[in-house]
Amino acid sequence: MNAGDIQNRIFSHILEEILAGRIVPEQRLPTEVEYAGLFSTTRMNAHFALRKLEQAGIIERKRRSGSFLRTSVAHQEILSLAQSLTKRYCILASPPDFKIHWNESSLEELETSLAADGSESVFRELPEPLSRELLGEILAKAEADVFGGIILLPSAASIRVFSENPDLFISPRREFFLFDNDSGRMGNWQFHSLRLDTFGEGVAAGQFLARKNPEKIVFMQAHTVKSLWMEKRFAGLKAGFKSVTGSSDNVEKWECESEEELASALEAVKVLREKTALVAQNDGLAARLIDLAKTLGMAVPEDFEIIGFDNDFKFRSYNLTTVAPPLNQVGRMLAELVNSARREGVCRQLVLKSQLIVRETCPDAQKA
């Protein structure tokens, strides 16, 4: 870290102390030597940080007496100055069991990319299940401790809590950066967002299956869950298939949830005796269908092929062909979102493109 970055850290730290009420008007600030020790740097760097505060009209320096917070400085003036200089961010992420579209390497890449631009990050875990009360407490703590903004990597359940409590995200001091699963719940919010291209995911599955020439494609969807991302995946599936074959007439959607409904759907596939491909709404449903098929004497991919979505680590043993975002890009693109927002000062939305991962449940016909 260069001298300028260290001076800005000391500068921002003092502003934070003032905003938190730990330094009050006419109170004597720590000395240059004390700040140098606190930040493991030279007295000269501490001197320049304090001089910068003096030039901004925040503190008054008196020879032989020390540095003091001016009585006439306005709170909003200090706040604006802090926001313009800070490079500290709080990362709020759901626990490991709820990670699907990102993992530890994504977080490491995010922290590394932020650090490369001179930013600091503080990691905190979002509890599951999340309530309004817990969310309020977490955001209040982040308000008190972090200047630059809050980066959110929530589970689908947490996003629902976010959408039900928009008032908690109204802050004059913070910007919010969201990794969104494209649920559509947060579409009208003034968040900087990195979202998944769920329509594009469906397109990738549809184009891949079109090259395999199945007689029927069935999108399997749980009827108890209605979500925009699910509808986009189905619409993309039809569009992708049609872009290759010229028609999507043999692409259908079946809604089923209970074991009995799923078993009936698989029995229907068996009776059809057609070359059928199933596309499940996610890897979890694909795994359920595979397990149930075994009890019915059916095998994958011999009796039917199946594709899931998300590349969920909990179902890796099924060797599912799936469509998912590249995890190694999540952290880098979130950092790009943060850095560009700071430079340009406008609300931005980025889209993360997913990729097809071919495994045993729907092999590549061209490589067979």
Write out pLDDT tens, residues 22-79.
999 988 999 999 999 999 999 999 999 999 999 988 999 988 889 999 988 887 778 7
- 15, part of any domain: yes
Q: What is the pTM of this model?
A: 0.77
- 153, part of any domain: yes
Q: What is the token pair recorded at 126?
A: 């979002």
Q: Are residues 97 and 53 in the same domain?
A: no
Q: Are residues 190 and 333 in the same domain?
A: yes
Among 331, 321, 303, CA closest to 201 = 321
* All residues at 6 or more sequence positions from 88 whose CB lies less than 8 Å from its CB, including other chains: 12, 119, 120, 121, 122, 146, 147, 148
Q: Are residues 204 and 304 in the same domain?
A: yes
In the block, which residue shows the tokens 């074959």?
245
Q: Residue 83: what pLDDT?
A: 64
Q: Are residues 243 and 342 in the same domain?
A: no
Q: Residue 85: what pLDDT?
A: 64
- 270, part of any domain: yes
CATH number for the domain spanning 162: value is 3.40.50.2300
- 239, part of any domain: yes
Q: Residue 122: what pLDDT?
A: 86
Domain with 330, as residue range(s), is 88-196+326-352
The Cα 207–Cα 251 span in angstroms is 12
- 359, part of any domain: no
Q: Residue 145: what pLDDT?
A: 63
End-to-end CA distance of the chain: 53
Q: Are residues 267 and 210 in the same domain?
A: yes
Low-confidence residues of the chain, pLDDT below 70? Answer: 1-2, 83-86, 144-147, 172-173, 182-184, 187-188, 224-226, 273, 345, 365-368
Task: Give the number of domains in the chain.
Answer: 3
* All residues at 6 or more sequence positions from 150 whose CB lies less than 8 Å from its CB, including other chains: 89, 90, 92, 139, 142, 174, 175, 176, 177
Residue finishing a domain among 30, 60, 84: 84
The Cα 145–Cα 339 span in angstroms is 20
- 362, part of any domain: no
The Cα 124–Cα 280 span in angstroms is 33
